[in-house]
Chain A
Amino acid sequence: MSLTPDSVPRLPRGVRLRHDTVRNAHVLLAPERTFDLDQNAVAVLSLVDGARSIRAIAEALSQQYEVDRAVIEPDVVTMLDGLLLKRVLETVPAA
């Protein structure tokens, strides 16, 4: 079970993206753990809303950063696959 460009990811209940004002950093809060996020991860997760597909996320990033979508998309899949494996990401079931 891994993601494809058509997958629509979302953060499940109990996983939250938050800006930590004390440390001035974004963190992903999850059961019994906190993930420190780099800028790329924040950019991706800010677009994870349970509506956009990974393709749409990559498209948005490609416009934002003026990079070819085909370059970005595999990286987005890999990053989100990692979170899926840790059970802090889920996909919206296909309608």
Chain B
Amino acid sequence: MNAVTPASFPALPAPIGLLAELTHRCPLRCPYCSNPLELDRRSAELDTATWQRVLAEAAGLGVLHVHLSGGEPTARQDIVDITRTCAELGLYSNLITSGVAGALDKLDALYDVGLDHVQLSVQAVEAANAERIGGLKNAQPQKFAFAERVTALGLPLTLNAVIHRGNIAEVPALIDLAVRLGAKRLEVAHTQYYGWAYVNRAALMPAKADVDRSIRTVEEARERLKGQLVIDLVVPDYYAKYPKACAGGWGRRLMNVTPTGKVLPCHAAETIPGLAFWHVQDHALAEIWADSPAFRAYRGTDWMQEPCRSCDRREKDWGGCRCQALALAGDAAATDPACSLSPLHGKVQALAIAESALETAPDYQYRTIGGAPRAAVPEGAPV
């Protein structure tokens, strides 16, 4: 472990999770996609052997969970080989999938090589609404067929629903759907406004009253479905009192490898200008974790300003999200304006209230490779 314990971080813990963004290709076009606006093309993607080496390095470093993600990870021809490598290394493999296109065709093979868990996205319960949000016709029956096969194989299933103005009324129905499909877990994840979701914020922002109702619905369902369905709730930042610990704290728990091999502390980190990211082609993962300038930039608490620096919660939420601080405060080292202690918090809430009150939500700017919106910033930002 000495190699990953530089003097300035004497107690640097090993990462727990690796988010492997195998590809940015995806048949869906969700307007809240967490991928960057500039999407990587297939020709630039890492090859199989490099991913397998990265996985072996991750296991050696102490990673326990690997999240096979994208884009749509089953769009990779080698997804079965990559999953097998996880199993051989003892890594817990989690397939984060849309369940459409070729996903079902590959599922049995993934099961056979030792896939541990499936997280399936659902955009809404009602098919027309779901397919409008995901931007793909006929997606819903494919998703349901995929979910059925997951549970028939005996694989644990989690449904993930990103919640926003266009589906927040369907939260009770999403809970019923999770039960009907035999999911063990449901993630009711209010939209995080980075990347494509930031661009589409005015189209996605729900009203505070609807948010409060959705939280009550989840709390009631947790009680009613105890022992049957575990429901994880991600509450929306803009209406929150305290921010979320981004990725469990910058450079503390997670590594994110992009389709082209760039290693990020969180999936949105590339939005912060001036951060230098190292590539798996140039450095070993352990070296990147310990010494990459991007990982060191906001690790720990030394970089903090007030009110974070003297705050009791500084090692709970680690100052919130750096990317959101940049987007909303214009300074990645500022307190995340989602925090009620940020001087900008009132403005952020007012912005959310104003956007959610728009009589007609603006049209979505759908996620497209090569189609990043020119003006990638909503009006009035930073607040």
In the complex, B380 has a CB within 8 A of chain A: no
Residues of A within 8 A of B119 (CB): 31-32
Q: In the complex, A13→B64 CA distance in Å?
A: 16
Cross-interface CB contact of B116 among A16, A22, A85, A86, cutoff 8 Å: A16
With A1-B227, A87-B184 in contact, do A31 and B158 touch (Cβ < 8 Å)?
yes
Contact with B along A82-95 (1 / 0, CB 8 A): 00111100000000
In the complex, A29 has a CB within 8 A of chain B: yes
Name the interface size band of chain A.
Answer: 10 to 19
Most buried by B among A15, A20, A31: A31
Main secondary structure of the interface of B (DSSP, over half): loop
Q: In the complex, A79→B60 CA distance in Å?
A: 31
Contact with B along A1-45 (1 / 0, CB 8 A): 100000000001111101010110001010110100000000000
How far does the Cβ of B214 sit from chain A's closest Cβ, in whole Å? 20
Most buried by B among A18, A22, A27, A34: A22
Q: In the complex, A86→B229 CA distance in Å?
A: 8
Contact with A along B230-253 (1 / 0, CB 8 A): 101000000000000000000000
Contact indicator A27/B227 (Cβ below 8 Å): no
With A14-B116, A86-B230, A87-B185 in contact, do A34 and B65 touch (Cβ < 8 Å)?
yes
How far does the Cβ of A10 sit from chain B's closest Cβ, in whole Å? 12
Q: In the complex, A86→B226 CA distance in Å?
A: 8
Residues of A within 8 A of B92 (CB): 16, 29
Residues of B within 8 A of A22 (CB): 1, 14, 60-62
How far does the Cβ of B100 sit from chain A's closest Cβ, in whole Å? 21
Contact with B along A44-81 (1 / 0, CB 8 A): 00000000000000000000000000000000000000
Residues of A within 8 A of B228 (CB): 87
Residues of A within 8 A of B230 (CB): 86-87
Contact indicator A14/B155 (Cβ below 8 Å): yes
Contact indicator A31/B227 (Cβ below 8 Å): no
Which of chain A's residues has its CB closest to B17's CB? Answer: A34
Residues of A within 8 A of B64 (CB): 18, 20, 27, 29, 34
Q: In the complex, A18→B62 CA distance in Å?
A: 12
- Find residues 207-235 in chain B having any chain A CB closer than 8 Å to their own CB: 226-230, 232
Contact with A along B23-38 (1 / 0, CB 8 A): 0000000000000000
Q: In the complex, A20→B232 CA distance in Å?
A: 26
With A22-B14, A22-B61, A23-B62 in contact, do A12 and B90 touch (Cβ < 8 Å)?
no
In the complex, B370 has a CB within 8 A of chain A: no
Q: In the complex, A15→B156 CA distance in Å?
A: 9
Contact indicator A29/B184 (Cβ below 8 Å): no
Q: In the complex, A1→B92 CA distance in Å?
A: 29
In the complex, B16 has a CB within 8 A of chain A: yes
Cross-interface CB contact of A31 among B90, B117, B229, cutoff 8 Å: B117
Cross-interface CB contact of A85 among B62, B155, B156, B226, cutoff 8 Å: B226
Residues of A within 8 A of B154 (CB): 12-13
Which of chain B's residues has its CB closest to A81's CB? Answer: B227
Residues of B within 8 A of A85 (CB): 226-227
A-B contacts, 24 of them at CB < 8 A, read A13-B155, A14-B117, A14-B155, A15-B156, A16-B92, A16-B116, A18-B64, A20-B62, A20-B64, A22-B61, A23-B14, A27-B64, A31-B94, A31-B119, A31-B184, A31-B185, A32-B94, A32-B119, A32-B185, A32-B187, A34-B65, A87-B156, A87-B227, A87-B229
B interface, CB within 8 angstroms of A: 1, 14, 16, 60-62, 64-65, 90, 92, 94, 116-117, 119, 154-156, 158, 184-185, 187, 226-230, 232
* A15-B156, A34-B64, A85-B227 known, 15 other contacts, Cβ within 8 Å: A1-B227, A16-B92, A22-B14, A22-B61, A22-B62, A23-B62, A31-B117, A31-B119, A32-B117, A32-B158, A32-B187, A34-B16, A87-B156, A87-B184, A87-B230
Closest 6 CB pairs of A and B: A22-B62, A14-B156, A31-B117, A29-B92, A87-B184, A14-B117
